[in-house]
Amino acid sequence: QVQLVESGGGLVQAGGSLRLSCVASGSINRIDAVDWYRQAPGKQREMVASVTSGGSTTYANSVKGRFTISRDNAKNTVYLQMNSLKPEDTAVYYCKAQTHYGPYWGRGTQVTVSS
């Protein structure tokens, strides 16, 4: 079992920045990768960024150059630094852990970008 708790969401003006955190607990040694997803109202959930246990990263085209995913193994935490935010980045952001036993999801944190 893996538990994930997201934090750091909020309301920000367009062009601003936020840093999301995802703290993992439980069987963290079983985690192969951690992803950030987002879901806007009326839209499907989409992957935003991913980091593997080896440190390789992947980004959606829509956030490349603006978002950075990173991990602090000592704190069991994965971060999503979001810069140059746009109104279309407004969504609930979820953390997902990929493990040998399947995926685990956090409950999400709301990000709202005003124009």
22-67 pLDDT, tens digit per residue, is 999 988 888 899 999 999 999 999 999 999 999 999 999 999 999 9
Q: Catalogue the E-assigned strands of the chain.
A: 2-7, 10-13, 18-26, 31-39, 46-52, 57-59, 67-72, 77-82, 91-99, 102-105, 109-114
57-104 pLDDT, tens digit per residue, is 999 999 999 999 999 989 999 999 999 999 999 999 999 999 988 999
Q: How far apart are CA 54 and CA 70, in angstroms?
A: 11
